[in-house]
């Protein structure tokens, strides 16, 4: 029953998106929604490792940036179309995710978090010194003229992002409810015990870091076409990493819907404050919300709702 509700809403959402691109001409909504959807993918991806498996990744921005730079490099070298670029970005970021997965062999908890931070800086230095993609100077991507049957390029990007977001949510949901998800939860609760109980911890961890990396790469791949100018400082922006952590934490890490709720809530709030108040306030709001939520409601919004429902049932 629940499965069908999910898939019906997925189809409804995609149709709604298509209708939206036909009915609404105002491009601003599409750019705003694009940013929110991008944040949603990042949050969902972070949660696969952070929420389900219990490993904190501070280097989300690096996976995102690797995705973006893969698409810049391949677009420049071979002129590949966007769908192929997305696949390539997924592959490259996924591989880096796999590498990070091997780090978990030796590094637990905090050490792992710091290693991801260090990895982000090493990768940023590499890209900064890589002249082919512009190095520190940054790279320009001219928006292609072709935008299928959509009215404009941003309509197409929005629809693409919607499909990618829905796909990542579906993957994350599938992961959570499968045997794999239970294995990941076992690792999160007590890795040693899980190992003893015969859970193939390494394999599961590798799967979750790879999926996380690939998803973040996918979120980054269309980014150059969206902003048209990418430099390492903006692609490796720590703010991307903060959002990727804060959104699931605020939404709730234990359930697949948590990061989605967190991303939609925080993301739209950010868009609204950007155009109404100021951008710095944005970051402040995210920081304050993050601290308040984890201090007072560590299970996030999902946790609050669950608690509420439980109380009612009693």
Partner 1 sequence: MLSLDLFANAIVAGVLLGGFYAAVAVGLAITFGQLDIVNIAHPAFVIVGSYIAYIVNSKFGLDPVLIGVLAAPIFFLVGIAIYRIYYAAFERTGQESLSGLAFFFGLMFIIEVSLILVYGVDYRLVRADYIGDTIQLGFVGIPFRMLVPFVVAITGTTAIHLYLSRTFTGRAILAVAQDRQALQLMGADPVRIKQFAFGLAIATTAIAGSLLIIIGPVEPSVGRLYIGRVFAIVVLGGMGSIPGMFIAALILGIVETLVATFMGPSWAPAVAFGLLLLTLAIRPSGLFGR
Partner 2 sequence: MKTMMAIARVLAILALMASGSTLAQEPIKIGFSMALTGGLAGAGKAALIAMEIWRDDTNKKGGLLGRPVEFVYYDDATQPAKVPSIYTKLLSVDKVDLVVSSYGTNEIAPAMPIVMRKKLVFPSLFGLAVNDEFKYDRYFQIMPAGPKPKTDWSKGFFDLAMAQKPKPKTIAIVSADAEFALNAAGGARKNAQRLGMKIVYDKTYPPGTTDFTPIVRAIQATKPDIVYVGSYPPGSVGMVKAANEVGLKPKMFGGGMVGLQFAAIQKNLGPMLNGIVNYDFWVPEPTLNFPGVKEFLAKYQKAAKGKGVDPLGHYLPPYAYAYLQVLGQSVQAVKSLDQGKLAAHMHKTTFNTVVGKVKFGSNGEWAKSRMLFVQFRDVEKNNLEQFAGPGKRIVLHPKDWKSGEMIYPYKK
DSSP letter at 55? Answer: -
Segment 62 to 121, residues that bind partner 2, using CB under 8 A: none
When asked if residue 125 is in the footprint of partner 1 (CB under 8 A), the reply is: yes
298: contact with partner 1 by CB under 8 A = yes
> Which conformational region is residue 262 in: left (phi greater than 0), alpha (psi within -120 to 50 degrees), or beta?
alpha
Of residues 118, 123, 105, the one with CA closest to residue 55 = 105
Q: Is 106 in the site for partner 1 (CB under 8 A)?
A: yes
Q: If DSSP codes are grouped into helix, strand and coil, which group holds residue 100?
A: helix
d(CA 209, CA 175) in angstroms, rounded, equals: 13
CB of 226 to partner 1, least distance (A): 24
Q: Does 311 bind partner 1 (CB under 8 A)?
A: no
132 lies in the binding site for partner 1 (CB under 8 A): no
From 97-105, 132-140, 176-184, 198-206, span contacting partner 2 (CB under 8 A): 132-140
177 lies in the site for partner 2, by CB under 8 A: no
Cα→Cα distances 294→60, 116, 157, Å? 20, 22, 34
Is 254 in contact with 299 (CB distance < 8 Å)? yes
Task: List C-alpha distances in Å: 132 to 55, 72, 162, 181, 238.
Answer: 34, 10, 31, 40, 24
- Say how far residue 269 (Cα) sits from the centre of its chain: 18
Say how far apart CA 40 and CA 66 lie, in whole Å.
18
Between residue 46 and residue 65, which ones bind partner 1 under the rule CB under 8 A? 50, 54, 56, 58
Structure tokens at 52: 């389900």
Whole-number Å distance between alpha carbons of 274 and 28: 13
Shortest distance in whole angstroms from residue 4 CB to partner 2:
12
The β-bridge partners of 229 are: 140
| Dihedral (CA of 174, 180, 183, 187) sign | negative
Region from 8-16, 54-62, 184-192, 211-219 binding partner 2, contact rule CB under 8 A: 8-16
Partner whose footprint covers residue 309, from partner 1, partner 2, none (CB < 5 to 8 Å by kind): none
Query: Which positions from 169 through 228 interact with partner 1, judged by CB under 8 A?
Result: none
- Tell me the window of 10-18, 77-85, 95-103, 242-250 that interacts with partner 2 (CB under 8 A): 10-18
Q: Are 65 and 221 in contact (CB under 8 A)?
A: no
Map the footprint of partner 1 across residues 233-262, applying CB under 8 A. 238, 242, 245-246, 249, 253
Whichever of 37 and 247 has its CB closer to partner 1, that residue is 247
275 binds partner 2 (CB under 8 A): yes
140 binds, among partner 1, partner 2, none (CB under 5 to 8 A by kind): partner 2
Q: Which stretch binds partner 2 (CB under 8 A): 54-62, 96-104, 133-141, 203-211?
A: 133-141
* 211 neighbors 76 (Cβ within 8 angstroms): no
228 is an interface residue for partner 2 by CB under 8 A: yes
Closest by CA position to 261, among listed 295, 204, 231, 304: 304
For residue 277, state whether it binds partner 1 (rule: CB under 8 A): no
Contact residues toward partner 2 (CB under 8 A) are: 5-6, 9-10, 12-13, 16, 25-35, 125, 128-129, 135-138, 140, 142-143, 152, 154, 223, 226-231, 233-234, 237, 239, 257, 260-261, 264-265, 268, 271-272, 274-276, 278-280, 282
């Amino acid at each position: 029953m629940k499965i069908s509700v999910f898939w019906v809403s997925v189809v409804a959402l995609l149709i709604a998106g298509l209708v939206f691109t036909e009915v609404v001409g105002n491009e601003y909504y599409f750019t705003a929604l694009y940013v929110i959807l991008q944040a949603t993918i990042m949050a969902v991806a972070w949660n696969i490792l952070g929420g389900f498996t219990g490993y904190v990744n501070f280097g989300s921005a690096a996976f995102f940036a690797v995705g973006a730079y893969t698409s810049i490099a391949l677009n420049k070298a071979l002129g590949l179309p966007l769908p192929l670029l997305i696949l390539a970005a997924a592959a490259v970021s996924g591989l880096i995710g796999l590498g990070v997965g091997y780090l978990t062999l030796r590094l637990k908890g905090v050490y792992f978090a710091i290693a991801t931070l260090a990895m982000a800086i090493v990768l940023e230095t590499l890209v900064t010194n890589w002249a082919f993609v512009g190095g520190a100077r940054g790279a320009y991507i001219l928006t292609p003229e072709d935008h299928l049957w959509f009215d404009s390029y941003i309509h197409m990007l929005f629809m693409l992002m919607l499909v990618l977001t829905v796909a990542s949510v579906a993957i994350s949901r599938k992961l959570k409810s499968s045997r794999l998800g239970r294995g990941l939860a076992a690792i999160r609760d007590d890795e040693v015990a899980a190992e003893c109980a015969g859970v193939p911890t390494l394999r599961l961890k590798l799967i979750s870091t790879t999926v996380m990396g690939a998803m973040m790469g996918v979120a980054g791949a269309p980014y150059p076409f969206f902003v048209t100018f990418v430099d390492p400082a903006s692609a490796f922006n720590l703010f991307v990493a903060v959002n990727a952590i804060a959104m699931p934490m605020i939404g709730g890490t234990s359930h697949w819907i948590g990061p989605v709720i967190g991303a939609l809530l925080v993301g739209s709030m950010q868009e609204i404050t950007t155009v109404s108040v100021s951008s710095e306030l944005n970051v402040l709001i995210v920081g304050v919300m993050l601290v308040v939520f984890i201090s007072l409601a560590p299970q996030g919004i999902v946790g609050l709702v669950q608690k509420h429902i439980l109380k009612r049932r009693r």
